[in-house]
Amino acid sequence: MAALMANIVQFENVGLRYGSGPETLSDVNFGLKSGAFYFLTGASGAGKTSLLKLLYLAQRPSRGVVRLFGEDAGVLPRARLPGFRRRIGVVFQDFRLVPHLSAYDNIALPLRVAGVPESDVEAPVREMLAWVGLIERSRAKPPTLSGGEQQRIAIARAVIGRPEILVADEPTGNVDPAMAERLLHLFESLNRLGTTVVVATHDFHLINRIPTAHMMRIEQGRLSDATGALRNPPKSA
Ligand SMILES: Nc1ncnc2c1ncn2[C@@H]1O[C@H](COP(=O)(O)OP(=O)(O)OP(=O)(O)O)[C@@H](O)[C@H]1O
């Protein structure tokens, strides 16, 4: 029981079916330890995005239980969902910034949506801009930024609310290898501060860069390594 309590995320016999199709995810069981770093790998179409959507509450399981922060997410009253979602930051491959808002306003968005008074918005946004190295681009709109710059803004937006879990779905898919390393450094530094990080990626170079990370592999909708054990990362794809 103590081990279970320590898990910030627990999937119990989770299945996911879209509409009346076959199950996209079946019998998924795993736990994520608070403060650990996880990579999720698997072939295209194996179900990585689907699993992450269950984790950040964009999708409900068709069966089984998704337990977050010790609570069954499936029975949470609707009113508590926004508060729960704020505890999980999400980064996407395609950035998903609001195009007509400046970098500054994109990063400020989660605070403003949460009703943080304007007087308390500027300092954390500036801190985030400095952290991702983009203070000088604060007034720029996303379409005028490079992919790497957009992703750093997206990461700043994902973590400005100090989430306990950061979920990233192929976050380096649209940037060059040098920028991928830089993004990974940001995830590492968050993880060192205690954030639980889950990164779905095909990039074995990145995986090899964090030898202490836990590895989860999904094959045709089933987790093939849910032990959470430390592993020797593969040396090539
Ligand atoms: N909204 C949806 N409706 C119906 N089927 C879906 C939906 N989303 C995903 N699927 C199907 O579920 C399966 C798993 O998709 P998913 O996007 O989770 O895989 P993935 O491992 O993330 O793939 P990739 O690496 O290509 O992003 C695929 O067969 C996909 O077509």
Q: Residue 233: pLDDT above 60?
A: no
Burial bucket for residue 117 (CB in 10 Å: 0-12, 13-18, 19+): exposed
Handedness of CA 226, 228, 232, 235 (dihedral sign): positive
8 CA to centre of ligand 1 in angstroms? 25
- Would you say residue 137 lies in a domain? yes
Position 2 pLDDT exceeds 80:
no
Distance in Å, CA 33 to ligand 1 centroid: 26
Residue with tokens 């949460």: 114
pLDDT confidence band for 224 (50 / 70 / 90): confident
Å from CA of 51 to ligand 1 middle: 10
User: Is 70 within a domain?
Assistant: no
Q: Within a domain: residue 75?
A: no
**What's the 191 CA to ligand 1 centre distance in angstroms?**
28
CB distance 138 to 97 below 8 Å: no
Average per-residue pLDDT in the chain?
92
Does residue 8 sit within a domain?
Answer: no
Query: Relative to the CA of 42, which ligand 1 atom is closest?
Result: 21
Helices (H), the chain: 2-6, 48-55, 81-85, 103-113, 122-131, 147-159, 177-192, 204-209
CATH number at residue 117: 3.40.50.300
Is 84 inside any structural domain? yes
Residue 218 predicted with pLDDT over 80: yes
| CA 138 from centroid of its chain's CA atoms | 23
Question: Residues of the chain with pLDDT > 90: what percent?
Answer: 88
Burial of 154 (0-12, 13-18, 19+ CB in 10 A): buried
Structural domain harbouring 107: 35-63+80-223
Cα–ligand 1 centroid distance for 41 (angstroms): 14
Report if residue 12 sits inside a domain.
Answer: no
Q: Which amino acid is at 126?
A: R
Q: Which of 16, 18, 55 to mutate to test the pocket of ligand 1 (most atoms within 8 A of CB)?
A: 18
Q: Which atom of ligand 1 is nearest to the CA of 53?
A: 18
Edge to edge, the sheet with strand 196-200 lists 88-92, 165-169, 196-200, 37-41, 214-219, 222-223
The answer to whether residue 164 is domain-embedded is: yes
CA-nearest residue for atom 26, ligand 1, is 44
Which of 17, 24, 56, 216 to mutate to test ligand 1, by most ligand atoms within 8 A of the CB atom?
Answer: 24
Q: Is residue 6 domain-resident?
A: no
Mean pLDDT of 14-19: 96
The pLDDT tens digits for 105-164 are: 999 999 999 999 999 999 999 999 999 999 999 999 999 999 999 999 999 999 999 999
| C-alpha gyration radius of the chain | 18
Return the DSSP state at 82: H
Considering its fold, how many domains does the chain have in total? 1
ipTM: 0.95
